[in-house]
Structures are given as structure tokens and as C-alpha cells.
Amino acid sequence: MADIKEKLQRLKKEREARAKAQPIKGVWDEGEKKIKLPAEESQRLEKDKDARSRADVIKDVWEEIDKDTDLSVKDKLQQLISLTREERPSRPQIPAFEPQEREPIQFFENMFPLDVKYGKITLSSGLDIKGDVLTWLSKEPAFESLDLSTALFLDLETTGLSGGTGVIPFLVGMGYYRDDKFYVTQYFLGELAEEERMIREIGQFFSEMNFESVVTFNGKGFDIPLLETRFIIHRQPFILGELPHLDFLYSARSLWKHKHESCRLYHLAREVVQADRSEDIPAAEIPWRYFHYLNTGNFELIEPILYHNQEDILSLLGVVVAGSSIFSEKGEEAFADAMDLYGAGKIMEKIGEVEKSLHFFEKALDGELSDEISLEAKKKISYYFKKNQDWERAVEVWKEMAAVERVSMNQLLSFRELAMYLEHKEKKYEEAIQITEEGLVLSIGLSSHYEQDFARRLERLKSKIKRQKGIKPQKVSHHQIKK
């Protein structure tokens, strides 16, 4: 073994000497009296030299070991690995990790004067919203006698986004009007073991503030059930569950789903309220930041979450004000966008305020709507006239819908309604056939439902005309049909 090690050292020296002896091309340095290679060429040659010398060394060592016939192949390989293994540098020592201390519960409060603008919304505008508008938006009659001066705007940040008993609200954000200001108050849970104490303090806060209603964004599906679960687990009364609740997510979808690509609060705050939330963090990142904070105690991880939560509360107030203003006469003028007025019509339609919905749909048609939304609004208006047997106005709307160049389901509906009216009300079968045939041609390849409907209607109308002329329709037996 000692002989092999000596040969190994000797071979290394020989390889290095031969590598140094090889002629190389470079630039003669007159000052240093030697040839200088470019840096890249020098590094390449050095790597090539090391690679060649190591490969030659391993080859020579193997030839020496292979001469021993008493060793198995496995033993020879083990010796080769042992003799040619390069020592790796030791890893640097990582200092022991010491997490920072965490405060068990923290309370934050920011107050905003009512003349402050959030986007294009002035904070004081929330106090101008009447109870009837809140009732329309919430579908809860209890709002009729209320306004937002006693409302709680609620938003939670949690350890998960799916809900369930294992999800903990570590940040409870609340917004409310008091003393001519709008407050944003936040309870932050720094130690999971202190959740029960935080729940007790929040419950006492609810009771002392005497809120009369709750406003959320998806609170009926997430925030309120989750917070109620934590109160039940810690055996605390949950008074928010008894209050009228405006979950603005549902109203927002009716108002703007046809207009905006997303009805997420963040998106509506930027598009509708025109608030600047460019420095915000994604909601999906929040649980990770909190768990990382629990491991490190680094509060810098939490500061963006506090900002995000405060922005959500201000955004919620902003979109409620923007949505509510559409229903006022001043709002109709300020919101000249016909798409907003169409959304207001949908709100009224859903709560059964047919007359009011008709008003908004007609106002929307005075502005600029896409062809699809225009046809949808006209369909709703025509159904109102049809229900009230105002046939003249209904027919007028159906003819407008039928005249649109782009074929759509609503246009096919207008042909069907016109054919039905001419057949059953006017008994004008020839005109009904003409409308039906046109509808049949347009429906081919677009709607099998309408295609079959027009085909059956056409056969029935032709039979009626024959009977009207005294021509008996030819009876076809079941046997002939099969043939």
C-alpha cells in the first residue's frame, strides 16, 4: 500500500511537470519578461490540466492495484476509491438559531378624518347611505332603520383559507365610525396559546362598542362562521351572529360581474374605487408569513399583513359607498356608466322590486352597453311588458332584439316570442311562419333546443293554415313513419 501511495505522488508531480513543459501561446510582457495568457485561456488550461492529471493518476493507480490477483474486483475498487478520494472542505459552522421574543397579543388602532379620500371615495360618504339602500343590498329588512354609523366592518386574516375548526384568525381587523372619524382597529395574536384571552377581549370590545350591524366581503361564507367557531370553542358569547349582516360580495357580483373580469375585493378597490393598492401582498402568502413569524419572531413579516388587512377594510367601505351611490339620483348622474345602472337593475330584480328594476334597465339602455348586455336588458324589459300584457311595447322590444346583426341566444328568444305572439294572439299564421323560418335558419348549429322548437312550430303552423283553407292534413301511419 505504501508503494502505491509513493507512486501516486510521483505520478502527480510528473503530470504537473509535463503540463508546465507544454508550449503555450500568449502575449509577451516586456515589463515582467514573460508570456501572459488571457484570463479565460489561463483558467481553461488550468481546468484541463487538473482534469488530465487526475484521470491519468486514477488510471495508473488502477493498473497497480489490478496486478494483485488475490483481491476481488470489489476490494480493488474500494482501494481505488480510498487512494484517489479528494478531501472535501469542511462545512462552515452555522450559529445556533435564537428566535426573537414575541408579544402574546397586540392592539393597533388608526384613525382617519372623515374628509380623507380613499381612491375617489370620501370616507364621510358612508354616513350618507340610507337604510333602504342597505336593505336592497343586504336583503335584510332590519337595515331599513339603520345606517353605517353603528356598523362594524369586519375582516379576518387566518392560518388557512379553507375554513374549519383548525383554522385560527390571528388578526381580527375592524372598521367603524366614531367621534367624527373612521377607525381601523386590529387585534393581533402573537402566541397561539393566548387565543382564548384574545377572544375574550374582542368579545368585550364588541359589547362595549354596541354595534348594530355587520358589513363584510364574503363574511357569510367565511369570516363570521369562522369567528363564531372560535368563540364557541372558548365558551364565549358571539353577539355578532345576532346582528343584521350585509355581505357585499353578493351585491358586488350583481353590480359588476358583467363589467369587470374579477369581483375580488382587491380588484374592485382598484377598478371601481380607484384606490392604489400596488404594494399589497397576495392573500395566499399571509398564512406562510404568520407561521414563519411564529418560528422567528421577526415582526417585519407581519407588518405587510397589517397593511393588507387595513386596506381590505377601507376597500370594503369604498366599494359599499360606490355601489350604494348608483341607487341615488345623484349617483345616476355621477355614474354615467350604463353597465353600473344595469347592475342596479339586477339588484332590484333579485329582491322583487320589478318597477325599480325596469327603471334601471331602461336608464342603462340610454347609455352604452355591449350587444350581449343590451339584449339581456331588453329581454328583462320585454318579460315585464309580457307579464303585464302590454303587447304593443313587448313586440316593439322583440323586434329590436331580432334586428341585431350578431346571432345570439337572446336574439333567437326574440324570434320565438314574436312567432308565439303572431300565432296565439294575432292568429297571423303566414307572418308567424316567416318569423319561425328565419329563427330556424339562425338556430342551426347554434342551439339544438331552438332548432327543434322552431321545426315543431313550423309544422304546426303549416297544419293550421291547411285547416284554415279547408285542406285536411294527410295522416301518416306509424308503419309509414318507420319505413
Mark whether 297 and 150 lie in a shared domain.
yes
User: Measuring CA to CA, how many Å separate 408 from each of 179, 258, 384, 450?
Assistant: 55, 17, 21, 11
Residue at grid coordinates 354615467? 336
Check whether residue 155 and residue 67 sit in a common domain: no
Model confidence over 213-231: pLDDT tens digits? Answer: 999 999 999 999 999 999 9
Q: Are residues 292 and 153 both part of a single domain?
A: yes
State the pLDDT at residue 11.
57
DSSP string, 78-107: HHHHHHHPPPPPPPPPPPPP-PPP--SEEE
In a domain, 361, yes or no: no
- Pair 28, 153 in one domain: no
Structure confidence at residue 34 (pLDDT): 45
Of 325, 360, 394, the position where a domain reaches its end is 325
Residue 33: inside a domain, yes or no?
yes
Determine the 3-state secondary structure of 246 from DSSP. strand
Q: Are 132 and 144 in contact, with CB atoms under 8 Å apart? A: yes
Mean per-residue pLDDT over the chain, rounded:
84
Q: Do 49 and 127 fall into the same domain? A: no
User: Does some domain include residue 92?
Assistant: no
Tens digits of residue pLDDT in 47-103: 555 555 555 665 666 566 666 666 665 565 566 566 556 555 554 554 455 567 789
Across the beta sheet with 181-189, the strand order is 105-113, 181-189, 169-178, 151-158, 213-216, 245-247
Q: Could you tell me the pTM of the whole model?
A: 0.74
User: 334 in a domain, yes or no?
Assistant: no
Model pLDDT for residues 418-447, shown as the tens digit of each residue: 999 999 999 999 999 999 999 999 999 999
* Domain of residue 125, residue span: 105-325
Are 453 and 421 in contact, with CB atoms under 8 Å apart?
Answer: no
> Is 336 a domain residue?
no
Report pLDDT digits (tens) over 51-63: 555 556 656 665 6
What is the number of residues in the chain? 483
Sequential DSSP letters for 191-202: SGGGHHHHHHHH
- Give the pLDDT confidence score for residue 33 in this predicted structure: 44
317 in the same domain as 218? yes
330-382 pLDDT, tens per residue?
A: 644 454 589 999 999 999 999 999 999 999 999 999 999 999 999 999 999 99
- Which residues lie across from 113 on neighbouring strands? 181
The C-alpha atoms of residue 384 and residue 356 are separated, in whole angstroms, by 12
What contacts 411, CB < 8 A, 6 or more positions away? 375, 401, 402, 404, 442
Q: Are residues 437 and 308 in the same domain?
A: no
Q: Are 173 and 313 in contact (CB under 8 A)?
A: yes
Asked if the structure places residue 349 within a domain, the reply is: no
Look up the CATH number of the domain holding residue 128: 3.30.420.10
Burial group, residue 212, by CB count within 10 angstroms (0-12, 13-18, 19+) = middle
Give strand ranges (E) for 127-253: 151-158, 169-178, 181-189, 213-216, 245-247
Give domain status of residue 77, yes or no.
Answer: no
Could you give phi then psi for residue 147, rounded to 5 degrees? -140, -175
292 and 391 in a common domain: no
CATH (domain of 392): 1.25.40
Inform me whether the pLDDT recorded for 197 exceeds 60.
yes
Same domain, 294 and 423: no
Q: Are residues 313 and 419 in the same domain?
A: no
| Residue 236 belongs to a domain | yes
Q: Please compute the mean of the pLDDT values over residues 146-162 and round it to a whole number.
A: 93
pLDDT tens figures, 297-332: 999 999 999 999 999 999 999 999 999 999 987 644
Residue 68: all three cell numbers together: 494483485
Both 53 and 152 in one domain: the answer is no
Q: Is residue 200's pLDDT more than 80?
A: yes
Looking at the structure of the chain, the number of domains it has is 3
Do 283 and 422 belong together in one domain?
Answer: no
Q: Of 325, 359, 381, which residue is a domain's last?
A: 325
